[in-house]
Structure formats: C-alpha cells, structure tokens
Amino acid sequence: MSRRMKNFRHLGALVVALALFAAACGDDTTTTTTAAGATTTTAGAVFTPGALGAVTVAPGAPIEIRALQAISGEVSFLGTDQVRGAELAIADFGQVDGHDVNLGTPEDDLCSAEGGQAGAQAIVAQANVIGVLGTTCSGSAAAAAPIISAAGMVMISGSNTSPSLTSDLAGTAGSNWYNGYYRTAHNDLYQGATAARYAFEELGLTKAVAVHDGDPYTEGLATAFANAFTALGGTVTIHAVNKGDTDMTGVLTQVAADAPEFVYFPIFQPEGDFIIQQKGGIAGLETVVWMGADGLITDGFLAIPETAGMYFSGPDLRFGTNASATGTNYDQLVAAYTAAYGEAPTAVFHAHTYDATVLLLTKIQEVAVQDADGTLHIDRQALRDALNATSGFAGVTGSLSCDAFGDCGAETISVIRNDDPTDVAAGKANVVYSFAPGA
Amino acid sequence: MADLSVPKLKLNADAPTLAVDVFLFALRVLLIFFAAWALVGTIAIQVDGGGLTATAWRDLLVGGLAQGFMYGLIALGYSMVYGVLGFINFAHGEVFMAGSMSGFFVADALFDNGMWVNSFPLAFAIVMLTAIVTSALIAVIIERIAYRPLRGAPRLIPLITSIGMSFFVQYAVRGLVGDGFKDYPQLPAGLQQRVSFLGLDIEGIKLFVIATAIVSMVALWLFVERSKTGRAIRAVSEDKEIAALMGIDVNKTIVTTFAVGGAMAGVAGLLWAMLFRKVYFLTGFLPGIKAFTAAVLGGIGNLVGAMLGGVTLGLIETSGPRLLNGLAWKVPTLVAFVLGAVALATAVIGVIRVRRSDPRTVGTALGMVIVGVAGTAWGFIVLPGAQVVIPGTSQLKDMIAFVVLIGVLMIRPIGLLGEKLAVEERG
C-alpha cells in the first residue's frame, strides 16, 4: 500500500513539474503576444500596421536582424563566410534612419532540416526580429522557411540553390516555397541548363550520363541537367552513388555501358575523387568529357592529376567592377574581409550574403515609418512587398531582380576548364563559357 | 480442419509455431526465386544483346575481386579473434584504418625525398612494414588494455567494449592527425597501366592488390596450419582450459592471434590506400562492417571461409547492381505463363499435401502462390507496358550485399564454410 502511495507521489511530482514547465512556456508566449499587441496599440495613433503586424523600434534601440547559417560541422566554412559577409555589409551600410543594426549571435542551421527548424524557432521567439540572413544549406531552408514565413518575417539566403525553395522558373512554385523567402544565390535549374547547353551546343555532344549521390542538392542538379539536355535534343541516363562509397567500379561500368560522350557528376568530395581517379580502370570511358559542379571546385579536387581537362559548372564569380548600393565592389569587399578577419574568404557566398544584407537593410529603410521622437515602425507586409518589387538593384554580384517566388540572384553561371592541375588558381580563372538566362 | 494432424508439429510453448516456420520457408522460396530471376534475366538480356560487353564484365569481376580480397584480409582478423575468444572485435576496422593512416605518413615522406618514384619496390616494402607493425601493435594494445581484463566475463561485455574501443581509436586518430582526407602519392606509371594476365587486360594496381592479398592469405594459412604457434592457436580455439593443461601459454597465444590478425588488417589497409589513394579517421568503419559481414558469410571462425566470404561479398557488391537490372528482363509472355502455371500448380499440390502438416510443404505452397501471382503480374501487366529501367541500382549495392547475406544465412545459418560448434563457447 505504501509503495503504491509512493508511486502516486512521484506521479504527482511529475504532474506538478510538467504544469510548471507548461506554465513557463505559456508565459513566454503570452509575453510575446502582449508585447506585439502593445506596440501596435501605441503605434496606432500615427501608424497602422498591415496584415502581418509591424515591428516598433524605440528611439536608440537597434534594428534586429539575425543570421541562420551553418557555423559548425563539415560545411562551417560556408556558413562562417556568410556571417562575415553580413557583418561587413552592416558595417558598410551604417545606420538605418538613425538606428543601429544588430545581427545578434548567429544561429546554427547545422546544414540539416533539424538545425534549420531549431534555429528558425529560436529566431521567431524574438518578436522584434525583422529579417533573417540564411540559411546556408537548402535542406535547412526547407525546414526554416515555413516557420519564418508564418511569423511574418523575411529570410534572404546567399547560398540556397534548390529549385524547390522558389520555383521551376516556369511559374510553378516549388514544394518548399513560402512567402517571405528570397535568395541572392542562383537557382540550380540555371546551373543544370548551363551545363547542358555547354555540352550540347558548344561541345556538340548528344549522349550524356548524370551521376548524383542521393543528396537533394546533387539529385536536383542532376535532374535539372537531364531535363535541359533532353529538351535540347540529347539523351541522358541518370546513375547514382552513395555518400561513403569508395569503390566506384560498379557504377562506372554501368556508366560505360551507356556509352556516354559526356558525364555530369555534380557531387562532392570524396566520392567525386573516387570517380575521377577510378575511371581510368574502366574500359569504354577513355574519350568521355567529364564535368563537375561547384561542389567540386575546391583546391584539393582541382589538384588531382586526373582532373586535367575536366570542366566545372558554377556561379560566375567574375564580379568585376559591379558596385553594391553601398559603393563597394568585389575587390574592396575582399580587401575589407581580409583586413577584418585575417584570412582570405573561405568560400564564394560572402558576396551573395553581402548583397542580401544590403538589400534587406535598403528595403527596411524604404518601408520604415518614423515618428517625431525617432521611433521606427516597420510593417512586415510592406517589407515583403518592397522586396518582391526589387528590380535592377545594384549588388556586388550583379544586378538583382526578384521574381514572384523570391529568386533574386544575378544568375550568371559559368563553365571553367582545369587545364593544369598543378596550377589551381589558373584553372579556377579559366572560364570557357558563361550564361546568364535573364540577359 | 479437424484432420490436420496437429501433434506432429510439436505445438508447445518452446517450439516455433507453424506460422513462423511457414513464413520463413516462404521467404526462402521467394529469395531463391528472385535470385534466380535476376540471374536468368541478366543472362537473357545479355543474349538479347542489351547487356554489358565482355570487357565491362571483366572490369566488374576484377574490381569485385580486388575489393573482395581486401574484405577477406580484414575478415581474417574478425574470424581469428572469434575463434579464440568467441566475440566480435568491432575495433578491428580501426586497426585496418590505423595501418592505412600510418602508411600514409611514411609514403608521403618517401615521396618527398624521391624514393617513392625512384625505387618504388623498396619504398613500398617500407610503407608495408610500417602499416603491418602499426596495425599489429594497435591490435595487441587493444587486447591488453580492453579485452584481457574482461577475460571470462559474459561475451556481451567485450563486444560492447570493442564498440567503445572502435570509437576511441577513431577519435584518437582524428585528434592526432585531424579530420581531413590524406591523399596517398600517385602510384608509379607501371602500376596504373593495364597489364596482360591470362589473356585479360587488367589494371596493374588491381592485379597487384589481388596478388599481394593471395600471398598474405597463403602465408597466414601456412602459419596457422603448419607452425607450432599456429597449432597452439588452434588448440586454444578448441578449448582454452585443456590447451592450458597441455602446457600452452594461453595469453601469449591470444596476443599472437591479435598480432597476426592486426598484421593482415595492416596489409589490407595499405592495399586499400593504394587502390583508393585516400584515408581519413573514419575510413575503417564501413570496410570493417563489410569484412565482419564477409566473415559471417563465409562461416565465422573459419579462415578459408573468411576469404571466400570476402571475395563473394566483393563480387556481389560490384556486379549485384547489374544483376538487379536482370529483374527488369522483359520476359516473354510464354515464360511468364509457364512460370505462373508451374508456381500455382506447386501451390495447389502443396495445399493438398497440407494434410501431412509439414511446415515446409505449407511454406513452399505459400511461397509458390506469391511467386505465381508476382511472376504472372510482372510478366503480363508490368513489363509489356514498357521496358522497365530500375533507376540508380548502383546506389543499392550495399543493400544487395546485405540481402544476399541474409539470404545465405537463412538457408545456411552457419555460413558457407561454417562448422557447427559442438559446445557453446564461453567468452
């Protein structure tokens, strides 16, 4: 009997603990809502917020934006690079209507759906955040976008390229598209199309194979290539490897059986290394032309002797003298980056996030309504409308124009050829083809 | 139903029930059916002219053999340790990786001073020695600090310890050398070219891998079967207590076993690095699991079985995806009809024979009904529409390998060359 009592006591304690926990959570939500309600009430006299509500920035308070980037794990070099791009842009842009801009502590998207979701939830819990710079990985964005969108915020990514986040470029929204999502990176469909055009029109090849590794990014890009190549009149078969495979004999033999003239394998290291190093052992692949994508444009890969003569598709990084609205061009950006962080940029997307940040701040400034005492009202719907209307916006990466689904990138894709693996820098600069779909 | 002679089935609480027997038997029938279909389909596609060329098959087989012999070399270590101690040393994959990793640093240094290029055989011997010594040493150290204190404990304890050891070695290596890929230097041109062997043009490096592996395996076999120490190892694996009574130093013998198994893993580690030219701290994980699979496939505890299992696994991995395409063979309608008819007839006969209540008969009947329905549906409904292409079969190579493993173990639970253990061993 006493034992049973004891059990019940534990149960009771658990219930109390749960209740306290729930109450604590509930409190949080209540505070947030009240705060939001209160701001709208006080602002009511001079400013009427739209359907998504508004953020009120008190005099002297900073404008809150956040970064959601992969800052740990294998691709942390990509995320860190973009956080720096955002920091440099905020410094260059200066104050917005007399208010500082606060980036806060970057949230980690972990390059995974779980990370994107957790990071987005941490951000939307802060009701005064206006916009998010991120994510790094498309997989994270697919999980973060619905949360950010539902909270009325906007997010602009400098490196997401999956078509599912925006549209198929023919007017159909992607499965992961949500209002309030924008990106300054290219849409993979353009990259796939560029690779297909180069192979078909420039090299005159009609039989191709695409190889992916099951990752949504690589599979999407391989499919985009296949569709574009087929539309041009070529034939394509698709093969797949696993992440973690080392022995590529099987897949290469099957590729050889399709007798391709051109193989597009937009995958990553080390699987890409194994493919290119083992192709010599397979009969029937001697005359094939090989092309990788931006995931393989790394110093380590380009230095592999077997990559001599190989092609790579990727965003065109010859930004030249394009100047951002802040007046900075790419050379100046790199100089500022190196001065601030003591190392050269570790990836390419800092420029895209720089543009994303300047775009966001410009549009905030555009829609902000200022009271006489310096209080700033930023209407969330108006901000989205302003971003949607972006056209010919000057950025470091080129001229940015947003379509109805948030694709704002300058979208120039180039193809490079690695002529000499002992000179990686020359290989990266050896652009043999460039394609801008919008132009 | 009343005249089903139930007592014959021994339906008591301990025995497996009729349903389980029937299900397992049906599953076996299905597995054999699909394996046969894939094989027949592949041959039929080949005869039709839609298959691979002879050179492509040659590449697949040679690639599979090279891969398989490396699995076999690693599997020897799993099998030997299981033989003497009766548990699976999951840290063995890391022993393999450590050999590969240590070999890299020596190979890189020898490349820098020109020896790798100028006198490759000597350089290779030095690197090989490094890999062997490192692997053997790490295997012995693992035995000393992680397994010996647990001698006599229930078998689950050292098994879990070995998983812990595996993580420990992985992350110790990561701490020491970082988490990046280490690229082995280019091989000399001679090894990269094809050489003619028995009338076949084979890549030099693959031939080299296969030859080295065979030599190592033969050496190990002679050691275990012919030397005095080898006899001691076999005695200890038969019965530790009696071996000790006969004057054999059991601890020393176990250490020798770990050292020899480690040395084989070291050879495999180096060959792996020669073939794939890349190593990092997780390199040992997947090959380790695969080699364990190979050891089980061949019959754990049996050295020849480990080699056979390794080679079989390697061959299935490279050619399995191609054989899977055989399932998409556009079967002639007549064949589908005959197949369906035979299957259904067998099923009917089986159901009639149900009166004898043999689970095998019922299982066969059930399996054949499924086969008949599936075969007929496949032949009449699915295939006539269009030639089916199974997409991304190469991605399924691990899955195919493990399905084959499960299939072999379902039909022969002790593995290809396994021997029934007379007495359940103690750890």
Q: Is the pLDDT of residue A38 over 60?
A: no
Domain(s) labelled CATH 3.40.50.2300 in chain A stretch across: 22-185+319-400, 189-316+413-435
Query: Dihedral (C-alpha) A354, A357, A360, A365: value to the nearest 10 degrees?
Result: -100
Confidence of residue B178 (pLDDT cuts 50, 70, 90): confident
Residues of chain B contacting A238 with CB distance shorter than 8 Å:
391-392
pLDDT at residue number B379: 63
Confidence of residue B2 (pLDDT cuts 50, 70, 90): very low
pLDDT at residue number A34: 35
pLDDT at residue number B361: 65
Residues of chain A contacting B394 with CB distance shorter than 8 Å:
239-241, 250-251, 254
A78/A207: higher pLDDT: A207
Confidence of residue A436 (pLDDT cuts 50, 70, 90): confident
Instruction: Note the CATH architecture for domain A22-185+319-400.
Output: 3-Layer(aba) Sandwich (3.40)
Residues recorded for chain A: 439
Mean pLDDT of B83-111: 94
Whether A248 contacts B317, CB under 8 Å: no
- Burial A268-301, CB ≥16 within 10 A → b, else e: bbbbbbbbbbbbebbbbbeebbbbbbbbbbeeeb
Residues recorded for chain B: 427
Least confident of A422-436, B106-120, B275-289, B317-331: B317-331
Assess B394–A contact: CB distance below 8 Å, yes or no: yes
Least confident of A5-14, A217-226, A300-309, B361-370: A5-14
Mean pLDDT of A55-83: 91
Assess A253–B contact: CB distance below 8 Å, yes or no: yes
Instruction: Note the CATH architecture for domain A189-316+413-435.
Output: 3-Layer(aba) Sandwich (3.40)
Residue B394 to chain A, least CA–CA distance (Å)? 5
DSSP state string for A137-184: SHHHHHHHHHHHHHTT-EEEESS---GGGSB-SSS-B-TT--TTEEES
pLDDT at residue number B59: 87
Q: Is the pLDDT of residue A44 over 50?
A: no
What is the percent of chain A where pLDDT is above 90? Answer: 62
- For residue A108, CA distances in Å to A177, A218, B94 come to 21, 22, 31
Taking the alpha carbons at both ends of chain B, their separation in whole angstroms is 48
Confidence of residue A387 (pLDDT cuts 50, 70, 90): very high
- Round to whole Å and give the CA distance between B58 and B374: 33
Any bridge partners for residue A311, and if so which?
A291, A417
Question: For B317, which of A250, A254, A273 is closest by C-beta distance?
Answer: A250
* CA B181 and chain centroid, separation: 26
Question: For B395, which of A242, A249, A284 is closest by C-beta distance?
Answer: A242
Q: Is the pLDDT of residue A12 over 60?
A: no
What is the percent of chain A where pLDDT is above 70? Answer: 89
Which span out of A19-23, A73-77, A83-87, B60-64 was modeled with the highest average pLDDT?
A: A83-87
pLDDT at residue number A132: 97
Q: What is the ipTM of this complex?
A: 0.78
pLDDT at residue number A298: 83
Residues of chain A contacting B63 with CB distance shorter than 8 Å:
247, 249-250, 253, 281
Task: Determine, for residues B278 and A273 on separate chains, whether the beta-carbon distance falls below 8 Å.
Answer: yes
pLDDT digit string, tens, across residues A249-266: 889 988 998 899 999 999
Q: Is the pLDDT of residue B277 over 70?
A: yes
Q: Is the pLDDT of residue B181 over 70?
A: yes
Mean pLDDT of A407-413: 87
Run of H or E residues at A437: none
Task: Determine, for residues A249 and B63 on separate chains, whether the beta-carbon distance falls below 8 Å.
Answer: yes
Mean pLDDT of A401-406: 93
Assess B253–A contact: CB distance below 8 Å, yes or no: no
Question: For A238, which of B55, B391, B397 is closest by C-beta distance?
Answer: B391
Which residues are within 8 A (CB) of B298 and not within 5 positions of it... i.e. 6 or more apart?
A: B75, B79, B304, B305, B306, B307, B308, B309, B310, B312, B415, B416, B417, B418
Q: Is the pLDDT of residue B423 over 60?
A: no
What pTM was computed for the model? 0.76
By CA distance, what is A254's nearest residue in B? Answer: B322
* CA A139 and chain centroid, separation: 9
By CA distance, what is A277's nearest residue in B? Answer: B276
Measured on CA atoms in the order A154, A159, A164, A170, is the torsion positive or negative? positive
Question: For B52, which of A253, A269, A277 is closest by C-beta distance?
Answer: A253
Least confident of A45-49, A64-68, B329-333: B329-333
- Round to whole Å and give the CA distance between B175 and B281: 9
Assess A246–B contact: CB distance below 8 Å, yes or no: yes
- For residue A10, CA distances in Å to A6, A7, A18 come to 6, 5, 12
Task: Determine, for residues A270 and B206 on separate chains, whether the beta-carbon distance falls below 8 Å.
Answer: no
* Nearest C-alpha neighbor of B221 from the set B260, B276, B251: B260
DSSP B417: S
pLDDT at residue number B381: 65
Assess B322–A contact: CB distance below 8 Å, yes or no: yes
Which of A211, A215, A243, A247 should one mutate to test binding to chain B, selecting the residue with the greatest count of B CBs within 10 A? A247
Least confident of A101-105, B359-363, B406-410: B359-363
Residue B177 to chain A, least CA–CA distance (Å)? 16
The overall average pLDDT reported for chain B is: 83
pLDDT digit string, tens, across residues B197-233: 777 778 888 999 999 999 999 999 999 999 999 999 9
A438/B28: higher pLDDT: B28
pLDDT at residue number A242: 86
Mean pLDDT of A219-223: 90
| Position A390, amino acid | T
pLDDT at residue number B350: 63
Confidence of residue A282 (pLDDT cuts 50, 70, 90): confident
By CA distance, what is A239's nearest residue in B? Answer: B392
pLDDT at residue number B3: 47
Q: Is the pLDDT of residue A84 over 70?
A: yes
Residue A269 to chain B, least CA–CA distance (Å)? 10
Confidence of residue A32 (pLDDT cuts 50, 70, 90): very low
Assess A286–B contact: CB distance below 8 Å, yes or no: no
Any bridge partners for residue A291, and if so which?
A264, A311
Assess B277–A contact: CB distance below 8 Å, yes or no: yes
pLDDT at residue number A211: 94
Task: Determine, for residues B64 and A249 on separate chains, whether the beta-carbon distance falls below 8 Å.
Answer: yes
Assess B100–A contact: CB distance below 8 Å, yes or no: no
Q: Is the pLDDT of residue B119 over 70?
A: yes
Helix (H, G, I), strand (E, B) or coil at A417: strand
Residue B275 to chain A, least CA–CA distance (Å)? 9
Assess A381–B contact: CB distance below 8 Å, yes or no: no
Which span out of A317-331, B336-350, B389-403 was modeled with the highest average pLDDT?
A: A317-331
Q: Is the pLDDT of residue B364 over 80?
A: no
pLDDT at residue number B355: 56
pLDDT at residue number A66: 96
- Round to whole Å and give the CA distance between A357 and A336: 16
Confidence of residue A25 (pLDDT cuts 50, 70, 90): very low
DSSP B33: H
Spell out the alpha helix ranges (H) of A205-263: 216-232, 249-257
Mean pLDDT of A291-311: 90
pLDDT at residue number A49: 87
Assess B276–A contact: CB distance below 8 Å, yes or no: yes
pLDDT at residue number B40: 82
pLDDT at residue number A318: 83
Residue A274 to chain B, least CA–CA distance (Å)? 7
Question: For B394, which of A240, A244, A281 is closest by C-beta distance?
Answer: A240
| Position A290, amino acid | W
pLDDT digit string, tens, across residues A315-359: 888 888 888 989 899 999 999 999 999 988 878 889 999 999 999
Residue A237 to chain B, least CA–CA distance (Å)? 9
- For residue A50, CA distances in Å to A33, A54, A146, A149, A379 come to 16, 7, 20, 15, 6
Q: Is the pLDDT of residue A31 over 60?
A: no
CB atoms within 10 A of CB A137: 29
**Token output for B196:** 């003619």
pLDDT at residue number B326: 77
Q: Is the pLDDT of residue A17 over 60?
A: no
Assess A273–B contact: CB distance below 8 Å, yes or no: yes
- Phi, psi for A71 (deg, rounded to 5): -110, 5
Q: Which residue has the tokens 């180096």?
A: B270
Residues of chain A contacting B204 with CB distance shorter than 8 Å:
none
